[in-house]
Each structure stands twice: as C-alpha cells, then as structure tokens.
Structure 1
Amino acid sequence: MAKSPAHKWAFKPGMRAGAYSWRSSSKAIERLKSASSEIRAVARVDPVTAAEGVIALAQRIWPAFEHIDTSSGALGNAVRRTLEELLPVLIDAPADEKTRAKWLEQLRQAIEDDGVDYLAPIADCYGQIATYPSLMNLHADRDLDMIEAAWSDHARFIHVPTATLTLSCLLEAGRHDELLALLERKKTRLWFDEKFGAEALLRQGREDEALARAEALLLDQRRQWGHVEIAQFCERILVGQGREEEAYRRFGLPSVSGNTYLAMWRNLVKRYPDLDARRILEDLIDTHGSKGKWFAAAKTARFLDIALECAAHYDAAPSTLIRAARALKLKEPSFAMEVALQAIRHLVEGRGYEPNPLDIDDAVEHLMFAAARLDETDQARQALQRIAGSALAPGMMADRLARNIAALSTGDGDS
C-alpha cells in the first residue's frame, strides 16, 4: 500500500531557524496565530496529521524565535496561549503506541533544546501526551537518577531540562509516592514543581494535605510565580468539598484576574453563579481598592448607584466618565448628568490622564443635553457654578468651565 504524501504545512517556511530579528515580536505573534488556525482547521478532518503539525510547530519555536527580544513578555505569553490551545489536539489524537513513541522523542528533544522554556506547557502535560502507561513509565524513568542527584545537591543549582516532563509522567503513571519523595529532595519549593506534588496528593484523596501544601506557597513572604494558579488550585479543592463561601473569600476574591476590572467581575460571577452579582462587585471593590477605576464595570453591570459612587472617587478617569455620559444621555439622562458633572469636577481639580480643555466642552454638552431631557437645565447651570466656585485655584480647566458657563448664560452654545 502506497504511503500517503506528507501534509504540506503553510506555517513551516515562516518558522525556520533564525527567521526573526530582535524587534520581530509582533510578527512572530501573528505567525503563531496563523499556525494555530491552520492546525486546528486540519484537526477537524485529520486529527493525527494535526497532532504532527503541533509537534512541527513546537520543534520550530525556539530556533525561529531565539534572537527576539522577549523582555516585554508578550511573545512568551503568546507562545503559552498557542500551545495551551493546541495541546488538546495533541493529547486527543487517535495515534497508536508506536506513533506516540515517535512523537514523544521529538518533543523531548525540542524541550531539551529550548533555550527559554517556551515549551513549558508541553512539558507540563507530557504524561498526558504519552497516553500509554508503558510510555509514561519509560519517560519517567529515563532521567530519574539524574534528577535525584541534581536535586540532592543543595550546594549548587543544576538545571535539568527534562525534570518537568519526568514529574508529569510520574503523576500520570500513578507513581505518586515516588513523585512526592523526589520533590522532597529539592531545596526550594516552587509551584513549577510543587503543582505535581499537590495534584498527586489530591489524586490520592489527601485533599487537606494538598490544600496545605499549595497554600503554604501563597503564605510565603515572596510572591510566588503562579500565584493565581496556586489560589485557583486551592479554590478548586474547597469548592469540591462544598465550601464555596470559604473558597470565595480565601482564594476567589484575592486572586481574581482579568485584563479589565469588568473582566475580573465577570470572571468571579461565572465561577460563583450562586452568589449575588452585586455583592461580588462590592466585595471586589472593597478587596482590591481603586474605587474610581471600577466605574465602567459597575456601569456595564447596570448597578448605576454603585457606578455613581465610583464616578465621585478621586481616581475615576474623566475621559471614561465623559464617554459614559455621551453614551447614556438619551437612555439614562439622570445618570448621564451626574457622571458628566463628576467628570467636570475631576478635570477642574486637575485629575485625569493628559486632560484637554476641550474635554470640558464635551462634558458640558452632554450634561446640558441630558438636563434638557429632564427639564433641569437651571439645576445643571447651578451645579456648574458650584464646581467653578469651589475651584481651589485658577487654571486652564477652570477658565474653560467659566467660558462655558458664560456661554450658557447668554444662550450661546459655542464656547
């Protein structure tokens, strides 16, 4: 039977050794996105070929990206996201033991050659990728003696590139006691390795010990790498034990993550659907502070009374408040009025990032539009005069507000 031709991957030419220079981080990130899309598209029709595509990509990451400046962390995060996205393709592919054995050797070599641990997500899941117990045990044993010797030498630091994949294989092979004994040889306790020990305890039903082992790292004076991941591990144990309120208070609230304050709130609401969403927002504000910065989250969540409290706080961003006043002056004119007034007050008091006098004009325009809808234009003018009268010192923003007030008094909208 003739062998089918090898799949021709479009991403390979762009992932050749030395393909990227010092300032090519953005280009490399785009290449990763296109490679991931290509592999996932193939996975829908040919999962084994797609898995081989994941391996081909992994083998090329370090040689291609070796000369890129990684100081911003953007490329490292992109590599991690890409590999985590593609790992299910590799783990779930219906490959026989011989094929898996070949894949594991290729990945092992790529991990050994990796200069900055780009392939850490693959090493973390190496035991799952192995699938077959015989392969798990083979790779668990291969460097075991060397790792024991390296970790027993507390006078020197000896890096073993295959240590993580070995721990992964010990865990998946069910060799929990050996895994825990190996970790005991280490001088330092870091989540890179300790997560395998904590998971081993959990799989043995030793939940309280697993919780204590992980939480000890959170209580360390130095903020551990993987702080959020550790907290989520502890949280998972407590939730599994039916201790949801304790999990929320001890680990959920302090460790919530997200690119925005709104994302943080949504993250917790999703994880704790039985808890009141308003309470979660109030708890987040109390726990993490910076009340003014929670304005957009409160507004989007439709807790407008909380949003107004946030708008009045000194660290609310005037530009954010002005955008909200513009967006809601038709549907929520009363709210828009209050928000616009707070934006003006902040600007006159010298707050905001790179404020522009034209910001005052915009805020006054939105204020008066909303006030007209409520038939409260006189009240709006009086509020502006109070803000102008309370200005601590003359300045560009106070002068601009005075011009707006004068224009409103003469009935001239152009300031």
Structure 2
Amino acid sequence: MSHTNSHRWSFAARFRRNAFGWKSALPIQRLKEAVVEIRLVARSDAILAAEGAVLLLEKLSPALEQVDSSSGAIGTAVNRAIDALAPLIAAAKVDSTIRQAWLERLFEALQEDQIPYIERLADAWGELCAAPDMASAWADRLLPITAHVIGPDGQGGFFVGTTACMSALYVAQRFDELLALIDSSRMTWWGYRQWGVKALVALGRPAEALRYAEQSRSAHAPESAIALACESIVLASGMTDEAYQRYAIAANRAGTYLATFRAIVKKYPGRSQAAILQDLIESEPGSEGKWFAAAKDAGLFDLATSLIQASPTDPRTLIRAAREFAQRQPAFAMTCGMAALRWIDAGAGYEITSADVLDAYAALTDAACVDSASRDALNARLREQFEPSAAFAFVGKVLAPYIR
C-alpha cells in the first residue's frame, strides 16, 4: 500500500461529482489551484505528487459534467492540467504494483469519461507505464479490441483504449506491430497515423516517415499538426532551409499573430526577423495590419507604420503602442494614436467605446508634448481629420469637447 494514502489533499473536496454548475470560470480556477498544490508537493515528495495527480484525474470528469464546454475554455484548462500532471506520474519511482494500480484507476477514469474531458491522457499512456515491459503488457491487453474496432470489420465502433494501445506499442518499441495496426485501419485518421510517423522515425526511416505524414493530409486532417510533424523530421535531418520553406508557417501557427511570429523566430534563429515577418505578411494578403504587433516587437517601426496604413488593425493594440512609445519614440506613437482613431471611425475593433477614444487622445497628447508639438496643433489636426458633423463620425463627437 502506498504511503501517500493518508495525505489530505485540499482539492479533493472541491472536485466532488457535479461539484460545479454551468459557468466555467470557477472550475478553471479550482483546476489551476489543484495543479499548483500538486506541483508544490512534487518539490519534496514525487510519489505523493503522482498519487495526487492520479486522484485529481479520477475526479475531473465527474466533477465537470455540468460545466458548459461550448467555448472550449474548460477543455483547454483540462488539457493543460493533463500536460502538467502526466509527466509527474510517469517520473515517479515506484514499484510495478503501485504503478499498475495507478494505471488501473486511470483507465477506469477514461472509461467513465462521458463528455469526454480526459481523453488526452491516452496519448501519454506509454509514458505513464514508465517501462517498456509494462507498456508491452498493456499493449497486449488492449490490442485485440483495438484491432477489431478500427479494422475493416469494426463497423464504426469505438474503444477508449485505442490511442492508449498505440502509445503503449510505441513505448514498448513494437514498431512493426504498431505500423501494421495503423495500416489495417479503415480510416486514414491523423490521430492514428501520427503514431506511424513516430514509429518510422524511431526505426531510422525519416524519408519514409515524411511521406507517411504527407499522405495523411485530407480535408478533415489538422494541417498544422501534420506540418509540425513534417517540420520536426526535416529539421532533425539538418535541412533547415527546406523545413522553413515547406512547413514553418503552417507548423507554427499560434493563438495570436505575434505568438506565431515569435515561435518561428525562436525555431529559426539563422533567419532575420524582417525576412520572417515579410514571409508571414505575404502568406495572408489583406491581413497586413494584424502583423503590426509583430513588427513593433521586432523594432521594425517603418514596416509597422506601413502595415497599419494597409489594412485594419486592432485599435486597442495601436493605443497600447502609442502609450508605450509616447516618451521614447513620440513620432511613432503619434502615428499609432492617429491610426487607432482612424480605424475606430472605420468600425474596426470589438466593442469599442468612448473610453478607447479618450485613451488614444491621452496618448497623443503625451507624445505631442515630448515631440515639441503644441497641443493646439494636435487638436487642429484632429478637428480636420475627424469632423464631428460627418456621418458616423464617432471619434469626432467624442473628442469635440476636447479639441474645440
């Protein structure tokens, strides 16, 4: 029996079945707190932390059954928690009896995962086994059902252990069996075929792995995931230029344009930031303004200025830039502030209010003072450009009391 059974976890009482209602904010907060609690324990007791991780993963789905998952926020939070907790479980140094007990509990949780929330855990099943012999034993256990369900006679069935089986085969280094299993599937699904790519790489056949990944493309396949796998293979082969030209943009798309730019810059340090940014801009004609923050972040101020003239740019991003550079580069700040007002008047931005207009005006007046320009001159320019009597002149009406 584990010495961890007597520990009292604070999160345990908070993750009772149906503990949360419809709104996702509270369960996301509680989930973050639980992960922090487990990580703190991991600093002094890795086995206890792993036991806590297993307990939390057991409790997640029942506790979150009533939470609204339509926005994707709770799902993202759960996935991040799994990414943080799975390595703790895998790294814990315990005997095979304890690890097998953990795996049994987690597999039962996967089977009871109705929404589902924790299905991502199956991707790490081989790592959770922690040793090739245990991974092989789990592969033997899961393989017959998996082969039947995904094979030509499966008739559309579903088995929760399918991905876990592939992960276990991979860690057990049973690569030929893994490839045979995937190739027998009636569906060309990337969720399966990614394991084939990994197996071919592990077998020392990168060219074949690359072709295998490329052949996985379809209307429903995740382009970015396939591109990322291909990019990794080509980079590992030392062909940096080819990796960049063929895959860099598709493989590194992130949640924001700035994050995409930073990801590519970090991965390809030999290329200039200006060249990378120009390639990104050309990849999306008509969206030039969305790359403004990336150009600003790289110190490419002339390019940033040209981008905000070419297409709509988020006014709040421009206002933040105007405030940031009001003292250091007032001319650039003035350009950003004026562009923010112009795009607000053109209808750009989400739920823009008069407060945003006044924020832009405040940044402009700060920059004008540093630039030795008079406030009267600024107001005259604003009156000329944003005539309050013009149709839909929202900016002019808001600023009218200030620029008379």
| TM-score, scaled relative to structure 1 | 0.87
| CA deviation string 1:178-229 (max 9, x = no partner) | 1111112211122221111110111001111111222223x4233x24x333
Matched, 1:387 2:390: no
Matching residue of 2:321: 324
128-137 vs 392-401, greater mean Cα deviation: 392-401
SS of equivalent to 1:143: helix
What does residue 43 of structure 1 align with?
Answer: 42
- Shift of residue 122, structure 1, vs aligned partner: 2.2
Aligned to 1:19: 19
CA contact 1:349–1:392 (8 Å) conserved in 2: no
- The answer to whether residue 238 in structure 2 is matched with residue 245 in structure 1 is no
The 3 A distance-change label for structure 1 pair 362 and 45 is: closer
Choose from 338, 343, 347 the match for 2:340: 343
Q: Distance in 2 between matches of 1:150 and 1:283?
A: 44
Q: How does 1:344-359 map to 2 (within 5 A)?
A: 344-356=341-353
Taking a change above 3 Å as real, the CA distance of residues 386 and 85 of structure 1, as seen in their structure-2 partners, is: same
**CA deviation map 1:69-94 (0-9, x unaligned):** 21211111111100111111111111
Cα distance in 2 for residues equivalent to 1:75 and 1:346:
34
Which runs of structure 2 are paired with 1:5-404 in the superposition (5 Å)? 6-21=6-21, 23-154=22-153, 156-217=155-216, 219-222=217-220, 224-225=221-222, 227-289=223-285, 290-356=287-353, 363=360, 366-367=363-364, 369-377=366-374, 384=382, 387=385, 394-397=391-394, 399-400=396-397, 403=400
Q: What's the offset of the Cα at 1:398? A: 7.1
Which range moves more in the overlay, 36-45 or 322-331?
322-331
Q: Equivalent residue of 2:86, what SS?
A: helix
Shift of residue 107 of structure 1?
1.6
CA deviation string 1:252-285 (max 9, x = no partner): 2123233322222211111222221222222222
In structure 1, how many angstroms separate the alpha carbons of the residues matched to 2:66 and 2:307? Answer: 45
Q: Give yes or no for contact 2:330–2:370 (8 Å, CA) kept in 1.
A: yes
Contact 2:89/2:128 (<8 A) preserved: yes
CA 385–4 in structure 1, closer or farther in 2 if over 3 Å, else same = closer
Q: Please say which of residues 271-280 and 346-355 is displaced more in the overlay.
A: 346-355
Q: Matched residues in 2 for 1:158 and 1:209: separation? A: 30
Q: Per the alignment, in what secondary structure is the counterpart of residue 114 of structure 1?
A: coil
Tell me which amino acid in the other structure corresponds to 2:275.
R
Cα distance in 1, alignment partners of residues 199 and 140 from structure 2: 17
- Inter-partner Cα distance in structure 2 for 1:212 and 1:324: 45
Q: Following the alignment from structure 2 to structure 1, what is the Cα–Cα distance between the partners of residues 399 and 77?
A: 50
Q: Matches of 1:344 and 1:24 in 2, distance apart?
A: 36
**Which letter maps to 2:162?**
A
Q: Would the aligned equivalents of 1:39 and 1:50 in 2 still touch at CA under 8 Å?
A: yes
Retained in 2: the 8 A contact 1:314–1:346?
Answer: no
Amino acid at match of 1:172: V
- Structure 1 residue 401: Cα displacement: 8.9
How many Å apart are 1:327 and its aligned residue?
2.9
Q: Is the 8 A contact 1:357 1:396 kept in 2?
A: no
Contact 2:90 2:127 in 1 (8 A): yes
Deviation at 1:364, TM superposition (A): 5.1
Q: What TM-score, normalized by structure 2, do the two folds share?
A: 0.89
Distance 1:403 1:204, change over 3 A: same
Cα separation, partners in 2 of 1:348 and 1:161, compared to 1, 3 Å: closer
Deviations 1:165-185 (A, max 9, x none): 111111111111111111122
Counterparts of 2:55 and 2:69 in 1: how far apart (Å)? 22
How far does the alpha carbon of each residue in 1:141-160 deviate from its partner, in whole angstroms, 9 at most, with x for none? 11322222222245720101
Q: Deviations over 1:300-351 (max 9, x none)?
A: 3221111101221331133432332233222111112222332343344454
Kept in 1: contact 2:357–2:395 (CA 8 A)? no
Amino acid at match of 1:179: L
Q: Cα gap change, 1:343/1:40 in structure 2, threshold over 3 Å: closer, same or farther?
A: closer
Of all paired residues, the percent bearing the same amino acid is 35
CA distance in 2, matches of 1:175, 1:154: 23
Equivalent residues, number: 402
Task: Supply the distance in 1 between the matched residues of 2:371 and 2:23 (Cα, whole angstroms).
Answer: 55
What amino acid is aligned across from residue 16 of structure 1 in structure 2?
R
User: CA separation in 1, counterparts of 2:378 and 2:2?
Assistant: 83
Q: Is the 8 A contact 1:254 1:287 kept in 2?
A: no
Name the SS for the 1:174 alignment partner: coil
Task: Return 5+ residue gaps in structure 2 as ranges.
Answer: none
Structure 1 residues not aligned, in runs of 5+:
405-412
Which AA in structure 1 matches 2:252? V
* Partner residue, 1:409: none
Q: Distance in 1 between matches of 2:61 and 2:106?
A: 12
382 and 69 in structure 1: CA distance in 2 versus 1, 3 angstrom threshold: closer
Tell which deviates more after alignment, 51-60 or 246-255.
246-255
